[in-house]
Structure 1
Amino acid sequence: MQTDQNFHFPVLVGDIGGTNARFAILNEGDHEPRDIIVVQTANYPTIDEAIRTAVLDRLATRPRSAILAVAGPVEGDEIDLTNCAWVVRPHEMIAGLGVEDVIVLNDFEAQALAVVALDKGSFEPIGGNPAEITATRVVLGPGTGLGVAGLVRTTKSWVPVPGEGGHIDLGPQTERDYQIFPHVERIEGRVTAEQILCGRGLRNLYVAICRADGVEPILATPVDISSAGLAGNNPQAKETLDLFATYLGRVAGDMALIFMAHGGVYLSGGIPQHILPALKTGHLRQAFEDKAPHSHIMRDIPIRVVTHPQAALVGLSAYAQNPAAFQVGTEGRRWQLA
C-alpha cells in the first residue's frame, strides 16, 4: 500500500455519479473546493469531453493532477461506470487533457473520506451516542444506485474500504414483507438491496406495494412518490417511505455489525436528504437496532445523515491536501505522465 502520495497543485477533483458529475479545481491550501461545476452525464459523450468543455474551457487555471471518484469498481486501464455510459481511460486523459497525474477512486471511498473532513454542521443525527468518537465508520448512499464503503480507523490514520455492498441480498421478515416481495423486480432471481434502496428502487417498492394492494400505480417518478409520501396524501406512497426507511435501517445495521462501526453510520446522497422527515419517524432507527443478540451494541451507534451538498468533493479535497492522514491504496489506480 502506498502512503506517500503528494500531489502537484492545482488538482482537479471530480465526483462522477450515474446521473450527475461534479468537478472543481483545488488550489494548495484550499480546505474546500470552490467554483463547483455540475454536469449531467447524459449531456456529454465522454468524461474527457465533459472535463474539457465544462471545466477547462471555462477556467483559466489548468490542473496538474486529477483525483476522480467514480461509481463502480476501479479495475484496469478502462474503468466502466455502473450506472453511466462513460468509460474512464486515464492514459487518454493524460495525453489529451494535459494533466500529469490521475488517481481514480470508488465514489464511496470519497464519501468515506468526507465523513471525517466535514464539520458537525454538515450532519443531521438520528439517534445513538451523540459524542464524536474516533472509531471505524460506515457510509451508505441511496442515490442512482446504492453505494457502501467502510472507513477503518488505525492508530494513526483512516483507511477507506470500497466495495459493492449495495448488491447484497435483501429479504422479507414480516408478514407484510412477504406480501410485497413477490412483486419486487428481480435481477436474475435476486432481490438486492439496490433493487429497493435507490431512486429506481423507490419506485420498484411503490409498484410492488400497489400490486400487493391490488391498486393501479399512479405515481410515475421517485420524486412524485417521495413527495406524496411526505405529504401523506397517498397511502401506498406513504408506506413506500416507511418501508424504505425500515429496509435502509436493516441494511445499515448489518453494515454497522460487519465493520463494528462504533464511529457511526453515515447516510449520504440526495435521497436521504430529501426524505429526511421519513427517516426520523422511528422506522429507520428501530430496524437499525433490531439486531438480536447485539441490540445493546446498536443502541449506541449513531446514524448521521450527510447534509453537505458536495460531500464527496470535500473528501477528495481533504485527501489531496493531507494524503498522510489517509491510507489510500493506489496500486493499479494511479497513472502518471511518463
Structure 2
Amino acid sequence: MTHPANTLVLVADIGGTNTRCALAKGREVLPETVRRYSNADYAGLEVVLRRYLSDEGDVDPAAACVAVAGPVRDGAATMTNLDWQIDRDTLARATKAETVSILNDLQAQGHAIGHLKDGSVRQIIAGPQTPPSPQAVRLVVGVGTGFNAAPVFETTGGRFVPPSESGHANLPIRNEQELRLCQYVSTAHGFPAVEDVLSGRGLERVYAFLGQEAGDPRARSGKAIMAACADGSDPRAVEAASLFARILGTVCGNLSLIQLPFGGLYLVGGVSQAFGPHLSAFGFAEAFRDKGRFAGFMSNFEVSVIEDDYAALIGSAAHIDALMSQ
C-alpha cells in the first residue's frame, strides 16, 4: 500500500502485551491501516514502528503520537510489564517524523472525547437537562488491565489532559464487607490499592474473596465471571460483579467530587465495556450517589461508557493534530 509522503500521522496504542498502530488523516483514524503487533516478538518500540511503516509501504509520516499504558514524565514513558525505551528521541528516530508526542493511554482517551463516532457512547446515568458549557470539565476513568482516571480541561490554549496514576490510591471502605475485602487484598499484595479490585484481575480477586468468605474457595477468570453473569449460571459471579460495580460507583463518585466533571464522566477500557450493560442493575448508580448530604448534588454528573476500541488511537490523532496546528 502506498501513502502520500509527509501527510499522514502515525498513531500507536502500546499496551503491556500488544501494540496497535494506525495512520490518521487529521483527526480521522484510517481503519484499513490498523495493525496489531505482539510485544513479545520485538526488542523495542523502535523495531515495531519501523516494521509497521514497512508494512504500510514505507510510509513517511508527518508526525507521530503514541499512547502508553504507564506513567509519562518529561517526554519519556515507563511501563510496568515492558522494559522498552519509550521517549521522544526514540519515536523521532523510528518514524523520521517532524513532530512527535507521547501520552499516557488515559490521556489519549481524554483527547478522544468529542471525536468519537456516533453510537460509541452508552449512557449509564443521565445528567441535567441543561447542556454543559463547552468549558465544562470532563473526566475519563479507565478500567481494564489496570485502573486510572484523568480530568479533561478545555483551556484558551487548547485541551489539556494531565497524567495521573489514580489506580494506586487507597481503596475506599464503606462497610464491614469492604473492610474485609481490603484486608484480603492487603494480605495478598501488601497494600489495598484501587487497581487491586477495580481491574480485570481485581474482579477475579473479588470472586476469590467471596469464595473464601463462603468457605468454598474457587477461581474463575474475569471473562468467565462476566459470561456467568450474562447467563445466570453462577450466583457467586453475580455477587462478585455486584460488589465490583458498587465499589466502582463509590470511587467514581469520589473522583467526581474532586474534579467536578459537569461535562460528564466517561468510563473507558475493556472491563468498563464488559460491565456497561450490567452497571445499572448491579447498583453502580446508587453507590455513585451515596454521598450523604451531597447525594442530590451528584445528579449534576452524567456517566457514560465509551465503547469504541479505537478511542486511544483517535485521541492520539486529535492531540497531535492540535499540536501541529499551534
Are 2:184 and 1:183 aligned? yes
Give the Cα–Cα distance (whole angstroms) in 2 for the partners of residues 11 and 173 of structure 1: 47
Name the one with the larger helix percent: 2
Structure 1 residue 78, shift from structure 2 partner: 5.0
Q: Counterpart of 1:57 in 2: which secondary structure?
A: helix
Give the Cα–Cα distance (whole angstroms) in 1 for the partners of residues 287 and 148 of structure 2: 19
1:1-338 aligned within 5 A: 9-27=7-25, 29=26, 31-34=28-31, 35-53=33-51, 55-60=52-57, 61-76=59-74, 79-129=77-127, 132-133=131-132, 134=134, 135-154=136-155, 157-185=158-186, 189-219=190-220, 221-323=221-323
Q: Counterpart of 1:305 in 2: which secondary structure?
A: strand
Closer/same/farther in 2, CA of residues 187 and 105 from structure 1, 3 Å limit? farther
Query: What is the CA RMSD across the aligned residues, in angstroms?
Result: 2.4
Give the Cα–Cα distance (whole angstroms) in 2 for the partners of residues 126 and 325 of structure 1: 35
Cα offsets for 1:40-95 (capped at 9, x unmatched)? 33333311222222x11211222232111112221256532134343314323433
Give the Cα–Cα distance (whole angstroms) in 2 for the partners of residues 186 and 83 of structure 1: 23
Cα offsets for 1:87-115 (capped at 9, x unmatched)? 31432343344333321111111111112
Are 1:272 and 1:279, in contact at CA under 8 Å, matched by a contact in 2?
no
Give the Cα–Cα distance (whole angstroms) in 1 for the partners of residues 156 and 282 of structure 2: 35
Give the Cα–Cα distance (whole angstroms) in 2 for the partners of residues 320 and 143 of structure 1: 25
Structure 2 match to 1:332:
none
Give the Cα–Cα distance (whole angstroms) in 2 for the partners of residues 176 and 21 of structure 1: 39
Closer/same/farther in 2, CA of residues 81 and 62 from structure 1, 3 Å limit? same
User: Structure 1 residue runs of 4+, over 4 Å off?
Assistant: 185-188
Letter in 2 for 1:33: L
Are 1:209 and 1:236, in contact at CA under 8 Å, matched by a contact in 2?
yes
Closer/same/farther in 2, CA of residues 282 and 129 from structure 1, 3 Å limit? farther
Letter in 2 for 1:32: V
The TM-score normalised by the length of structure 2 is: 0.88
> What percentage of aligned pairs have identical amino acids?
32
Q: Counterpart of 1:233 in 2: which secondary structure?
A: coil
Structure 1 residue 282, shift from structure 2 partner: 4.8
Closer/same/farther in 2, CA of residues 175 and 59 from structure 1, 3 Å limit? same
Give the Cα–Cα distance (whole angstroms) in 2 for the partners of residues 63 and 186 of structure 1: 49
Closer/same/farther in 2, CA of residues 97 and 148 from structure 1, 3 Å limit? same
Further displaced range: 300-309 or 68-77: 68-77
Q: Counterpart of 1:299 in 2: which secondary structure?
A: helix
Are 2:167 and 2:195, in contact at CA under 8 Å, matched by a contact in 1?
yes
Are 1:158 and 1:325, in contact at CA under 8 Å, matched by a contact in 2?
no
Closer/same/farther in 2, CA of residues 145 and 218 from structure 1, 3 Å limit? closer
Structure 1 residue 206, shift from structure 2 partner: 1.2
Q: Give the number of the structure with larger relative contact order, counting CA–CA contacts within 8 Å between residues 6 or more apart.
A: 1
Structure 1 residue 245, shift from structure 2 partner: 0.8
Name the count of aligned residue pairs.
316
Q: Counterpart of 1:249 in 2: which secondary structure?
A: helix
The TM-score normalised by the length of structure 1 is: 0.85
Give the Cα–Cα distance (whole angstroms) in 2 for the partners of residues 200 and 126 of structure 1: 23
Give the Cα–Cα distance (whole angstroms) in 2 for the partners of residues 274 and 262 of structure 1: 25
Q: Counterpart of 1:87 in 2: which secondary structure?
A: strand
Return 5+ residue gaps in structure 1 as ranges.
1-7, 327-338
